[in-house]
Amino acid sequence: MKYITIKDASKLIHVTPLTLRNWDKKGILKPYRNPVNNYRYYRLDQIEAFLRQIEQSRAKTTKRKIDLF
């Protein structure tokens, strides 16, 4: 199991670290906390699953296109 920093996770998702902190507060994407320094760490598989979920929701919305003539 590989853990990545908030900075690396933000780069993978293409958002700022502040956005990840806000998502943590809202419960959207929960990090793991280092018990010594309380830093946020994310599991790489957790980030990958989150990205797949975003892609699936985008795919659903793109299927609903309606052509108007």
**Could you report the per-residue pLDDT of 10-30, keeping only the tens digit for each?**
999 999 999 999 999 999 999
Q: Provide the greatest CA pair distance for the chain.
A: 62
Please give the Cα distance from 61 to 50 (Å, whole number): 17
Please give the Cα distance from 66 to 69 (Å, whole number): 10
Please give the Cα distance from 69 to 38 (Å, whole number): 57
The rounded Cα 10 to chain-centroid distance in angstroms is 8
Residue 60 has a pLDDT of 74
Can you list the domains of the chain with their CATH numbers? 3-46 (1.10.1660.10)
| Predicted model pTM | 0.78
